[in-house]
Amino acid sequence: MLPDATGVVSEGELGAWSAVGAVARVEAEYFGGLGEQWATVWEGGEVVLGPLHLPEGEELPAEGSPISRALRRLGVVAGAGEDEFSAVGLGRHRATEDWLG
């Protein structure tokens, strides 16, 4: 199972992959500090978290952003002064073009 031409993997494929281990789909769309996030986690073929959505302009919930929550569900532990996004190095890949190749 491979992504389609746009790089998108279907929810059914993500569920199938999760039979081997937890899988997350995380998305963020930001420009100039404004934007939104989405996240869903599958495990054992089932959705176990989400889908979560943080719309533009909405305050960050106490439990964290959708992406941070999904990464925590995958076992990521953030250190002092960082979130899960930074802890796994995703900040190095702010633009899709930087990591798709």
Can you list the positions of beta strands (E) in 1-101?
Answer: 23-31, 34-43, 46-54
What tens digit of pLDDT does each residue of 8-42 get? Answer: 788 888 988 899 999 999 998 888 888 999 999 99
Q: How far apart are CA 39 and CA 85, in angstroms?
A: 12
Q: Residue type at 94?
A: R
- DSSP code string of 17-41: HTTTS-EEEEEEEEETTEEEEEEEE
* pLDDT higher than threshold 60 for residue 1: no
Handedness of CA 72, 59, 96, 90 (dihedral sign): negative
